[in-house]
Amino acid sequence: MQRLRRTMMFVPGNNPAMMSDAMIYAPDSIMLDLEDSVTMAEKDAARLLVHNALKTIDYGNIEMIVRVNPLSTPYGKKDVEAVVKAGVHVIRMPKTETAEEVQELEAEIEKVEKEIGCLGRTQIMAAIESTKGIINAYAIATASKRMMGIALGAEDYCANLKAQRTPSGDELLLARQTIVVAARAAGIYALDTVYSNLNDMETFRKEVELIKRLGFDGKSIINPRQIEIINEVFTPTEKEIEKAKTIVAAIKEAQAKGSGVIAVNGKMVDKPVVIRAEHTIELALAAGVITKEEL
């Protein structure tokens, strides 16, 4: 089964209390941040904290990601070294604009991995936060075999676009769709930007429903309170689950008989329908609305 990445929770890399219990909220991924949530004066201390958190705290099956400082800053390379050595699963690159930047990061990762003998362990995801980045989205998505996903960073992108953020998100539509199309073309994950108004859960839910319709796999979040809503929206309905189960069962039966195409309830079922059905079941399993035994 592929990994679910509905919720990627930001945790400031300079906050030991939050780092020590972030797993209790059960996000799909935890992203320890060394970039924007850490002031310049604390960059070194935070790097040390994040290194030790990754090495000592039991995060269970949660995917661990670290957002490093750009390689163009004095901190970027040190961040990469510290977190690769600590066994991070994914490094998130901020403000990615070109494929070359991804390759530059890849070279840094490889250097460290070779040194400690774990070549190929670390994945990369790129946050695209500018118009140039959006134009280069596919090139970025395919810049390395380590690419796990691409994400939208809406604040910087909007500033660059010279547009205002609105609740409807019209200004982000092209960027969002570009990210999803590029990610799918590259066979990697598409992740949406954060929603920062914690007092407006209704608009937040609408935004989550929108990005689900657009095809995103999930969203970056800034507070555990946002997890439940995303999981609810991304959890298939009973009807969807039943339909998916029927399709998967039918295709298994057909495969056993050596037939590739089948019909369910009079409709032809081909590969894309099966893929969607399998994805529905994965989401339902992850949300705990069905169990493996039931299947």
Partner 1 sequence: MSTLKDRMADIQAQAAKMNKQVYKGAENKATTFKKDFQKESPKLVTLEQAIKQSGLKDGMTISFHHHFRGGDKVVNMVVDKLAQMGYKNLRLAASSLQDVHEPLIEHIKNGVITSISTSGMRGKLADAISKGLMKEPVIFRSHGGRGSAIVNGDEHIDVAFIGASSSDALGNACGFSRSENAKSICGSLGYAIPDAQNADKVVILTDDLVAYPNTPASISESYVDYVVEVESVGDSSKIASGAIRDTKNPRDILLAKQAAKVIINGGYFKDGFSIQTGSGGASLAAVKYIRESMIEQGIKASYALGGITAHMVKMFEEGLIEKLIDVQSFDKVAAESIKNNEMHKEASANEYASKDEQGSATHYLDMVILSALEVDVNFNVNVLVGSDGIIRGAIGGHQDTAEDAALSIIVCPLLRGRIPCVVDEVTTLITPGSSVDVIVTEYGIAVNPRRPEIAERLKKAGLNIVDIHDLAKKAKSIIGDADPLPFGDKVVGVVMNRDGSVLDVIKNIEG
Q: Which residues bind partner 1 (CB under 8 A)?
A: 17, 20-21, 24-25, 57-58, 198, 223-225, 288
Query: Smallest distance from the beta carbon of 291 to partner 1, in angstroms?
Result: 9
Q: Select 70 or 224, whichever has its Cβ closest to partner 1.
A: 224
Q: Select 1 or 24, whichever has its Cβ closest to partner 1.
A: 24
Query: Smallest distance from the beta carbon of 193 to partner 1, in angstroms?
Result: 21
Q: Select 111 or 225, whichever has its Cβ closest to partner 1.
A: 225
The neighbour count for residue 114, using CB atoms within 10 Å, is 10
Q: Got the DSSP string for 94-110? A: SS---HHHHHHHHHHHH
Q: Select 54 or 251, whichever has its Cβ closest to partner 1.
A: 54
184 neighbors 170 (Cβ within 8 angstroms): no
CA distance 149 to 187: 9
Query: Smallest distance from the beta carbon of 155 to partner 1, in angstroms?
Result: 23
Q: Select 59 or 138, whichever has its Cβ closest to partner 1.
A: 59
What tokens appear for 89 in the block? 């699963």
Query: Smallest distance from the beta carbon of 245 to partner 1, in angstroms?
Result: 19
109 neighbors 78 (Cβ within 8 angstroms): no
Query: Smallest distance from the beta carbon of 58 to partner 1, in angstroms?
Result: 7
Query: Smallest distance from the beta carbon of 167 to partner 1, in angstroms?
Result: 22
Q: Select 27 or 94, whichever has its Cβ closest to partner 1.
A: 27
CA distance 90 to 93: 10
The neighbour count for residue 38, using CB atoms within 10 Å, is 23
Q: Got the DSSP string for 116-162? A: HT-TT--EEEEEE-SHHHHHTHHHHHTS-TTEEEEEE-HHHHHHHHT
